[in-house]
A and B are shown apart, each in its own frame.
Chain A
Amino acid sequence: MDKRSKALRRRMIEIMHLGGRGHLAPAMSLVEIVRVLYDDIMRFDPENPQWEARDRFILSKGHGCLAQYAMLEDKGFITCDDACCFCKFDGILGGHPERDKIPGVEASTGSLGHGLSIGVGFALAARHAGRDNRVFVVMGDGECNEGSVWEAAMSASKNRLDNLVAMVDYNKQQSYGTTTEVLDLEPFADKWRAFGFACVEVDGHDVDALREVLSSVPAEKGRPTAIICHTVKGKGIPFIERDLTWHHRTKLSDELYNSLIEAVS
C-alpha cells in the first residue's frame, strides 16, 4: 500500500475518532476506488462544485462516507474544520453524506438501493442537455440485495446509458455475515451482464488496475458499465480486516485509536 492510500486511511481514522463513531471497515474497502476516481478520472472543480460539466459521483453506499469525506477534504471541497465536526450537532458531515450540506456531494444517501436510480436520472439529464459528463455510482455488495438496484439496472440498460458507471465495492461481507451466507450475489458478473451491462472485474485495491479500467469506460459503447471491485472489508488495518465487529463502531478507546493509526503509518 503506497503513501497516499495510507495517508487517506489515517485521515479517515482521525475523522472517525473526532466523531466518536462511524462505519470504518466498509469505508476502508472503498479507499482506492474513491481515490482513483478523484485523482485520475473525474472532472470537477472544488471552487465551483456546481460546475455543469462536472462528472457526477454518487456514493450510494452512504455508510462508506469516511472515504469520501477524506477525499473531499484532500481536494478542497471541505475544510479541516468541517472534517473535525464529523457527526457533531452543527457539523455538515453526518454519518451518511447529504447533498446541499456538503460541497461535492451530489445525492443524500444512506438508505441503500437509491443511488443507481438517481444516477440514471443524472445520466438521462446529461444526455438530454448534450453534455458529455459521466455519472459514477458506487454501491456496496450488500446493497445489491435491494430489488431497486436491479430495477435501476434494467432501466439504465434499456436507455443505453453508456455515460453511467456502476461500481460495486465487493468486499464479500455485509453487516450480519458474508454475502454468501446472507444473500448470495453470485454469479454476480453474469447478473450484471444479463441485465444489459458491460461488466468488468478488477482488484479494487490495485490503483493501476482501477485506473486502467476506469480510463476505458464505457467498456462497451451503448451499454452502461458495471465494475465489480474485489475488495477487503477493513483493508489496510490487519486487525480489523474481515472482522465483522468493525462494520460500525461507536466507541474507540485511545489505545485502539493509536493502534489504528499505527497500522496505517
Chain B
Amino acid sequence: MRKTCLNCIYDIAREHEDVFFVGSDLGYKTLDDFKEEMPDRFFMEGISEQHVIGMAAGLAMEGKTVYVNTIATFLTRRCFDQTAMDLCLHNVPVRLVGNGGGMVYAPLGPTHMAIEDIAIMRALPNMTVVAPCDAEEMARFMPQTVDWEGPIYIRLGKGYDPVVSKPELGFTLGKGIPYREGKDVLLVSTGVSLHGCIDAADLLAEKGVSAAIMHSPTIKPFDDELLLSMADGVKAVVPVEEHTVIGGLGDAVGAALLASGRTSLPAFRKVGIPDVFTENYGSQKELMRHFGMDGEGIAKTVMDLIA
C-alpha cells in the first residue's frame, strides 16, 4: 500500500507542476525517481516534523499541493499544533501520508503504533481523514487528492495485505462503499479492518447470520447517509477499526445512529483497541487477534450482541 501511494505521488507530480513532496528522514532511496526527475520539488528535511508541516503549509499558501510523508505517530502527535494551525486553520492542500497506521509497527512497541491518529486528526476542523484498505483502493483514491480542498490525513496500512477492495464498487472521496449486502447485522470497516469484517461475515453466514459490510475508507467526512440506509432494519451495528475505541470510526458511526432520530436503534458495540497502550509486541495480526479484531473476534462480538 505504501509503495502504491508513493508511486501515485510520483505520477501526480509528473502531471502537476505545482505538486511538491516533503519527507522527514525516510528510508534509503525513497522516491528516488521523483528526486532525480523533479529535484526542485523534492525535499527531505530531517527529523523535524514541526518544521516540515510549517514549511509544507507555507508552500501550500503559495499555491502548491504538498505531500508530506513520515511515520504516522510522528506525523500526528509530534506536530499536532502545526497541523491544527498551519494546515487546518489555513485550510491548505497538504496531504499527510502516515506510514504504519494502526499496529503495523507492532514489534517496535507503543512509540511507533498509531492507535489514536484517526481520533486526533478527525477532531480538527477542515481535516479530511482517509484509510484505504489495500493497494488497489489506494490507487483509486490518490488521484482524487489532487484537487480536494483542504488538508487530508492518509493512513497507510500494511503493504502486503491481500487485495479485497472491488474495482466495480469504485471510490469516491467522502463516500462510503456498500461492500456486502446482509439483513441481520451491519459491520462497518475502515482501512485494513475490512479484512477482518469479511472473515467475520463469512463465519457469521455459517451460523445463519447475514452480515452486511459498509466499508468507509473516508472516516471524515463520514457518510452518514449510506450508514443509515445500510443500518435500516438490522439488529446490530458493529464498527471495527484498528484504532482506539475513543474518537475514531466507532464514534462516527455511533453519533450518526444517535443523531438519526430513529426511535428504534440497533444494538451497537465498537470493536477496536481498548483505552490502553499495548503491552505486547509480536505481529500486527497477533495484536489484532488479541484485541478481537480478527474475523473470529468480530463474529464473537456480533453473536454476543444479538444473542
Contact residues of A with B, CB < 8 Å?
A: 98-100, 106-108, 110-111, 113-114, 116-126, 128-129, 147-148, 151-152, 154-155, 158-159
Contact = CB atoms under 8 A, between A and B. Distances in A.
A150 B50 CA distance: 10
Nearest to A120: B55
Contacts of B54: 114, 116-118, 120-121, 148, 152
A100 B90 contact: yes
Contacts of B81: 111, 114
Given A114-B54, A114-B81, A148-B50, 4 more contacts: A117-B54, A118-B55, A126-B62, A151-B48
- The 7 A-B pairs at the shortest CB distance, nearest first, are namely A121-B58, A117-B54, A125-B62, A151-B51, A151-B48, A148-B50, A118-B58
A125 B45 CA distance: 15
B63 A125 contact: yes
Contacts of A98: 89
Contacts of B59: 121-122, 124-125
B75 to A, nearest CB: 15
26 contacts: A98-B89, A99-B61, A107-B57, A108-B85, A111-B85, A114-B85, A117-B51, A117-B53, A117-B54, A117-B58, A118-B54, A118-B57, A120-B51, A121-B54, A121-B55, A121-B59, A122-B58, A124-B55, A128-B41, A147-B50, A151-B50, A152-B48, A152-B51, A155-B45, A155-B46, A158-B45
User: How many residues of B sit at the interface, in one of the four size bands?
Assistant: 20 to 34
A60 to B, nearest CB: 10
Contacts of B90: 99-100, 107-108
Contacts of B63: 125
B215 interface: no
A113 B48 contact: no
Nearest to A119: B58
Contacts of B51: 117, 120, 148, 151-152, 154-155
Nearest to B48: A151
Interface of B: 40-41, 43, 45-46, 48, 50-64, 81-82, 85-86, 89-90
Give the most central of A110, A114, A129: most B CB within 10 Å. Answer: A114
Nearest to B44: A158
Interface core residue of B41, B46, B52, B58 (most chain A CB under 10 Å): B58
A116 B48 CA distance: 13
B61 to A, nearest CB: 7
Nearest to B91: A100
A172 B35 CA distance: 43
A231 to B, nearest CB: 25
Given A118-B54, A118-B57, A120-B55, A125 B86 contact: no
A207 B54 CA distance: 31
Nearest to B47: A151
Contacts of A123: 58
B61 A117 contact: no
Nearest to A100: B90
A122 B86 contact: no
A157 to B, nearest CB: 12
B50 A124 contact: no
A1 to B, nearest CB: 35
A239 B59 CA distance: 43
Nearest to B84: A111
Given A108-B85, A117-B51, A154 B41 contact: no
A114 B55 contact: no
B46 A122 contact: no
B48 A154 contact: yes
B50 A117 contact: yes
A100 B88 CA distance: 13
A114 B90 CA distance: 13
Contacts of B48: 148, 151-152, 154-155
Nearest to B40: A128
B130 to A, nearest CB: 24
A39 B56 CA distance: 30
A128 B48 CA distance: 22
B137 to A, nearest CB: 31
A117 B82 contact: yes
A151 B52 CA distance: 9
A120 to B, nearest CB: 5
Nearest to A152: B51
A122 B89 CA distance: 17
Given A114-B86, A118-B86, A155-B46, A107 B61 contact: yes
A92 B102 CA distance: 41
A126 B62 CA distance: 8
